[in-house]
Amino acid sequence: MREVQARAATVVAAVLAGRSLSAELARALGARPALDAGSRGQLQDLCYGTLRHLGALRAQRDLLLERPVTEPRLAALLVVALYQLLHTRGAPHAVVDGAVDAAARVGAARARGLVNAVLRNAQRRRAELDEAARATDEARYSLPRWWIDRLRADWPEDWTSILEASAGHPLFSVRVNPADLSRDAFIERCREQGMAATGLPMPDAVRLDKAVPVERLPGFAEGCCSVQDAGAQLAAALLDVRDGERVLDACAAPGGKALHLLQRARVELTAIDVDAARLDRVEQNFHRARVAARLVAADAADLGAWWDGRPFDAILLDAPCSGSGVLRRHPDIRWLRRPGDLPTLARRQRQLLEALWGTLARGGRLLYCTCSVFAIENDGVVAGFLADHDDACRVCCAGHAAALRARGETRLRVNAGGSLDLLPGDDHDGFHYALLSKR
C-alpha cells in the first residue's frame, strides 16, 4: 500500500508542477521495485481519481489542517489518501497506516504524525468533509475558477450540465465497420461474451458498460471495429469523402478518424502528424484494418516540408486544442491549462487553417474540428477566418443534426452559422465541428 501511495503522490505532485499525467504515470509504473498487476491498477486509479476530484479533495484537506502544507509531495500524499478514504473501498486502517509509512518515502518522515492525525480526523468528520466538497463551484466541479467562469459565459444554459458530465468517468465506445460486421451482430457477439453493449445515436457507435482489453472486442484483430468515442465518429460523416478523392488528415494521430475515412471510401489519403512516434500508432491501426495511406511526420502548417503542390478534395483539420471536451479521459488537463493558453491555442489553430486552406481545391471542403467546448477555439477561430476569406463559406450542418436528434441525440447544438457542438454527455465527449467549402 505505502509504495503505491508514495508513487501516486509523486505523480500528482509532478502534474501540479506542470508535467503530463501520462508521462509521469508511465515513469512511476516503470520504477523499481516492479509492481504486481493489482498494484499497477491501483496506482493508475489513485492518480486519475485524485486528479478528477482534486478540487474537492483540496478543500477537504485544508479543512483538516491547522496551517497549509508547503511541501508538494506531502500535500499530494494527503489528497491521495483522502481520495482512498472517501472514494474507494480501501480498508480505512490500511489507507491510514500506509500513508503514514509513505510519508517517509516522499521525503516527509517528520510529518508522519501529521498524516496520521489528518486522516483519522477525516474519518470522524465525514459530514463536514461532504459539505466542504459542495461549498464552492471549484470544489463541486473540481475545476479552476477561470475555467468555470469561461464556460458559464460560453454556455449560459448548459454550463452546469457540461461540468457535471466532465466530472464523470470516461466512456468506452467502439465504432463498428459495417462493411465487415453489422452493429447488431457486434452487439450480439459482445453479449455472448458477457459484455453489456448498447447502440448509440451515431450509426456505427456502440457503448460498452465496462472497458475491456481491445483483444476481447469481437473482430478487433481483423479490423472490424475500433475503439473511438461516438462524438469523434461524426467527423467522417460530415466530411463525407467519396471514391477517388484526394484527402488530407492534417493532425492524424492516433488515427481513428483517418481510419474511419479510409473505411468509408476508396480515397488517396495523406495523414500528417508533428509527432513521429505517434504516427507509429496510426500505422499500426491501418495495418490491423488492412488499409494504406501516406504517412508524414511534419508540421502541417509548414507546407514546404510535405506538400507536393497537388490540391486536396477534402481536408480534416482536427486542430490541437485545450481538450476541454475530453476531461473525463484526461483529468490532468484541468490543472495544466492556464487562461493564457487559450489565445495561444487559437492562434495556432488559425495558423493551421490559413496554411491548409491554400492546399484545398476549389469546390473542396474542409472540416475544422476540436475536442474543446470553449468558443475562442471554435466559432472564434472559424468566424475570424471567414471574415478574412471571400472564397470560404460555411456549410450548414443542420441536416446532420436533425438526423441525429431523430435517433435520440440530445447533447447537440447547432449555432447560428450552421456548425455543430456536441456537449459532453452520457453517450460521447465534447466536440466542435465546422464544415467549410471553397468557392
Cell triple for 56 = 474537492
Which option is the CATH number for 234-438: 3.40.50.720, 3.20.20.70, 3.40.50.800, 3.40.50.150?
3.40.50.150
Cell triple for 143 = 475545476
Q: How confident is the model at residue 416 (pLDDT cuts 50, 70, 90)?
A: confident
For 25-40, what is the mean pLDDT? 95
Q: How confident is the model at residue 152 (pLDDT cuts 50, 70, 90)?
A: very high
For 39-54, what is the mean pLDDT? 97
Domain with CATH 3.30.70.1170 in the chain: 173-227
Q: Which residues contact 55 (CB under 8 A, 6 or more apart)?
A: 138, 139, 140, 141, 142, 143
Inform me whether the pLDDT recorded for 320 exceeds 90.
yes
Query: For the structural domain made of 173-227, what CATH number should be given?
Result: 3.30.70.1170
Instruction: Report CA-CA distances (Å) from 280 to 168, 273, 321.
Output: 30, 10, 22
For residues 222 and 216, is the Cβ–Cβ distance under 8 A? no
pLDDT in tens, 343-390: 999 999 999 999 999 999 999 999 999 999 999 999 999 999 999 999
**Position 98, amino acid:** G
CATH class of 2-136: mainly alpha
pLDDT in tens, 261-270: 999 999 999 9
Listed residue (264, 257, 258, 208) closest to 234, CA to CA: 257
Q: Which residues belong to the active site?
A: 371
Domain with CATH 1.10.940.10 in the chain: 2-136
Q: How confident is the model at residue 168 (pLDDT cuts 50, 70, 90)?
A: confident
Q: How confident is the model at residue 294 (pLDDT cuts 50, 70, 90)?
A: very high
- Average pLDDT of every residue of the chain: 96
Q: How confident is the model at residue 173 (pLDDT cuts 50, 70, 90)?
A: very high
Q: What is the pLDDT of residue 290?
A: 94
Q: What is the pLDDT of residue 88?
A: 95
Inform me whether the pLDDT recorded for 338 exceeds 90.
yes
Its pTM stands at 0.95
Distance (Å, whole) CA 361 – CA 306? 17
Domain with CATH 3.40.50.150 in the chain: 234-438
Percent of the chain with pLDDT over 90: 98
Instruction: Report how far apart the first and last C-alpha atoms of the chain are (Å, whole number).
Output: 63
pLDDT in tens, 105-137: 999 999 999 999 999 999 999 999 999 999 999
pLDDT in tens, 226-265: 999 999 999 999 999 999 999 999 999 999 999 999 999 9
Q: What is the pLDDT of residue 428?
A: 97
Q: What is the dihedral of CA 198, 201, 202, 207, to 10 degrees?
A: -20
Q: What is the pLDDT of residue 1?
A: 86
